[in-house]
Structure 1
Amino acid sequence: MRVKETATVESDAKWLTFMVNQLVTNAVKYSSGTGETVTFSSYHRGKNQVLEIRDHGVGIPKQDRDRVFDPYYTGENGRRFSESTGMGLYLVREVCERLGHGVELDSEKGKGTTVRLVFFTPSSR
């Protein structure tokens, strides 16, 4: 974990907890059995603070990446992991939009997924 203790953001504590829990749950679920760790880091990007959650699991196939934030969409991995509802990343994106945050996702099949929560400063929105 490489998160600065002095990093502060303006958000809603309950909904931020919900989003981080969802992202960590996904990271653990889709990297289960790999022996790899889930890593957290935070950093500044310009005036914004970023929280990054990275796993080294199954990754998301290219054909599914554009739709992972759509409601009920589970894609190839969702069909393999029967507990998937297709609502987790959709809700993360919805909460981010309502709170004025951003969410980004990079993934490569077989190598893992990185999700970033971007906390915009008021002057950068």
Structure 2
Amino acid sequence: ENDHAPVPLWGSGTPMREFLYVEDLAEAVLFALENDLEETLYNVGTGKDITIKALAETIQGITGHKGEIEWDSSKPDGTPRKLMDVSKLKKQGWEYSTELKEGIQKTYRWFLENQNQIKEVSISD
């Protein structure tokens, strides 16, 4: 509602994380089922990571939110880096197809089109 409201985020923004668009995950599962892969365990991901700060700035750019991102360094950063080794699945012939920015754009567009149908969820302790 307020596109100038500050956005509080935990930590420093320096940890790196990997993100995968949900449709790519669904396609990876179908690929594994259709190809009867011999191995039982595969990492599904992009093999690319991004800092939380860069992710927040990307989301801010896509949504047009003008509020300042406020990093709360009193909160933990968590593990410095989480990145999947996707080489085993890639050797089988599967690779993700949706870049991070495109996935965020699709998700935000979906949210805008469906926000009136989304019910408020309350979380109780």
TM-score when normalising by structure 1? 0.27
Which of the two has higher C-alpha Rg? 2
Considering Cα pairs closer than 8 Å and 6+ residues apart, tell me whether 1 or 2 has the greater RCO. Answer: 2
Q: Which has the higher strand share?
A: 1
